[in-house]
Amino acid sequence: MTDTTPGLVCGHHHLYSSLARGMPAPPKRPGNFLDVLNQVWWRLDAALDLDMIYWSAMLGATEALMSGTTCLIDHHESPNAIEGSLDAIQRACDAVGVRVITTYGVTDRWRDDGSLVQDASLPKKMSKAAARGLGEIKRHAEAGYRTMVGVHAAFTCSDDTLQASAALAQDLGVGVHIHVSEGREDAGAGTRLRALAADNWLLVHCVHLKEELQGTIAHNPRSNMNNAVGYAQPARFKNRVILGTDGIGADMMDEARLSYVAHRADDIHATPETSWSWLANGSDFFPESLNDRVTWNYDHMDDPWHLAFTTGIRPISITADGAQVLTNGLPSRVDIKEVRAKATEQSTRLHAKLAA
């Protein structure tokens, strides 16, 4: 029995989505997953500028810390503010005291004239935007920051872009962080990525993945339900599995609880140990998180059978790298009221842009 844990790890986040909450309704009601991307996320990411990215990351990182999450693997896209975007996210996470592995998610869905490829046709060659995205990743990595090489998804990328991303990852000695077969639109990803994927890749979702691919799988049960893409059945894979939120906050205790109940809804033999082992696997990406000390307002933090059925557990204090980063449930280094006020200013700008 204990009231402490290591720092929790969110294995797949989109910090830029922190300002999406309350955004104007899309012009057309989405009828499938591709519609959701077209109508919501690809409009939102195109509207982002560097101030929005910074305060969105500040809000997301602060809320992560207040949930006991000290480490994030982020996946970022902002086609009209590519250069400097990873620095903005890094600065925000550093200010809060949350570790981050950043990446820019390259894609060929933006034509060189800036228009969006809206159908499901596959791009033939690498776009300028994808090349700029790879440049941003390279710059950030060479400045000494932790990064991966991000790819949106195989179905929005040419073979050129997939190959160049895999090659850059190899040059930098890091993995590729890519959405894989999230919806049926991307069911062909396994075949296209098979010859490229490596052990250090991070394969996100894998709901419709049939092939064996090398890499770690990031399972995001809440997002999968929200997008009605189906249940990924992560227990069927031999790969290591970690848990992410896909941008819906970073409350990993809550995500683990939902992961268990989604597993159980699919299989009466499922036990909480499986979901909590997926949560614990995140520390493979941030070994130093094991030295973080999160003290919670609950005393069975070492027992998945307690945690799966106890809602509303909160951290009281956190030390990371020997320094206090959370005190009485609030961030020690930044003022939560100021973060919320600045984030609201930026979300007001963002939503006005989307409504225009």
Contacts with Zn ion by CB under 5 A lie at: 246
**In the complex, least distance from residue 41 CB atom to Zn ion, rounded to whole angstroms:** 9
Answer positive or negative: Cα dihedral of 10, 16, 21, 27.
negative
**In the complex, least distance from residue 235 CB atom to Zn ion, rounded to whole angstroms:** 21
**In the complex, least distance from residue 209 CB atom to Zn ion, rounded to whole angstroms:** 15
Q: Residue 300 and residue 310: Cα distance in Å, rounded?
A: 10
**In the complex, least distance from residue 223 CB atom to Zn ion, rounded to whole angstroms:** 7
Q: Say if residues 216 and 235 touch (Cβ distance below 8 Å).
A: no
Q: Which of 356, 327, 349, 353 is nearest to 51 (CA)?
A: 349
**In the complex, least distance from residue 203 CB atom to Zn ion, rounded to whole angstroms:** 11
Helix (H) or strand (E) holding 316: strand 315-320
Q: Which residue is nearest to Zn ion (CB)?
A: 246
Q: Say if residues 242 and 9 touch (Cβ distance below 8 Å).
A: yes
Q: Say if residues 102 and 145 touch (Cβ distance below 8 Å).
A: yes
Q: Say if residues 196 and 159 touch (Cβ distance below 8 Å).
A: no
Long-range contacts of 230-234 (CB under 8 A, 24+ apart): 231/207, 231/262, 231/265, 231/266, 232/205, 232/206, 232/207, 233/266, 234/206, 234/278
**In the complex, least distance from residue 13 CB atom to Zn ion, rounded to whole angstroms:** 8
List all residues 6 or more positions away from 143 whose beta carbon is below 8 Å from its beta carbon: none
Strands laid side by side in the 99-101 sheet: 8-13, 69-74, 99-101
Task: Kindly tell me which of 150 and 272 has the beta carbon lying closer to Zn ion.
Answer: 150
Task: Kindly tell me which of 185 and 246 has the beta carbon lying closer to Zn ion.
Answer: 246
**In the complex, least distance from residue 14 CB atom to Zn ion, rounded to whole angstroms:** 6
Tokens (6 digits) for 81: 């503010």
Task: Kindly tell me which of 108 and 246 has the beta carbon lying closer to Zn ion.
Answer: 246
